[in-house]
Amino acid sequence: MPLIRFVREARDVECYPGENLREVALREGIALYGIKGVLGNCGGCGQCITCFVEVPEDTSAAALSPRTGVEDQKLRNRPPNWRLACQALVQESLVVLTRPQVGLQGKEAAFATALAEPLAAGPIAWPQPPQAGDEPDEPIASEQLAGEPEDAGYGAAPEPRASTTGD
Ligand code: FES
C-alpha cells in the first residue's frame, strides 16, 4: 500500500491506492488545518482553501492524482508543489508537509531526512474477495469458542430446584 510520510508530525501512514489525502489525514488524527480551517472548513469540497499540503519538488507526478481544475484556480498564487489535500488522491508513496502556510523551521532538511529513508513503493492491488471454489475456513469447535467443558454449555438442562413451600 502507499505510505504517506507526514514530515511535520513525523508519522508514516498507510492507505489504499486512490484514497483521498484529506480523509486519510483526518482518519489518522493528523492536524491538517490551521486555525482558520479548524474554525470552518468546507468539508472537502475544494472551496475553503485551508487544507494546503506541500510535497517535495521532485516528488513523482504519479504519487498524487493530477491537479484538479479547482486546484488550478485556487492555488494559482501558491507554489506549484502545494496541493489541496481534499482534491488529491494518493496513488504512490510520498512525503507530505501539512500546513505549509505556517512554515516549518528547517523544512528542506526535514524533507531531505524524510526522503533519505526509503518509502514502500506502492501501489499494490486492493485485497481480492474470496473466489468461488476457495476452501472455506475450518469450522471452530464449540469448546474452543467458550473455553468451557462441554457438559457446562448453555444448552445443559437446569438442575431441579428444591421446593420452598414444604410440598
Ligand atoms: S477542505 Fe476546503 S478546500 Fe479542502
CATH code where residue 43 lies: 3.10.20.30
Q: Is the CB of 41 under 6 A from ligand 1?
A: yes
Q: What is the pLDDT of residue 109?
A: 92
Give me ligand 1 centre to Cα 100, in Å: 14
Contact 97, 104 (CB under 8 A): yes
Sign of dihedral through CA atoms 68, 70, 73, 77? negative
Residue 80 lies in a domain: yes
- Tell me the mean pLDDT in the region 49-58: 95
Q: What is the rounded radius of gyration, in angstroms, for the C-alpha atoms of the chain? A: 27
- Tell me the mean pLDDT in the region 85-108: 95
pLDDT over 70, % of the chain: 74
Residue 126 has pLDDT above 70, yes or no: no
Pairwise CA distance, residues 81 & 76, whole Å: 11
Give me ligand 1 centre to Cα 48, in Å: 5
For 75, the domain range is 3-116
Atom index in ligand 1 nearest the CA of residue 70 equals 3
Residue 122 lies in a domain: no
Number of domains within the chain:
1
Atom index in ligand 1 nearest the CA of residue 86 equals 4
Percentages helix, strand, coil for the chain (3-state, rounded to 5) are 25, 15, 60
Q: What are phi and psi of 89, to 5 degrees?
A: -105, 135
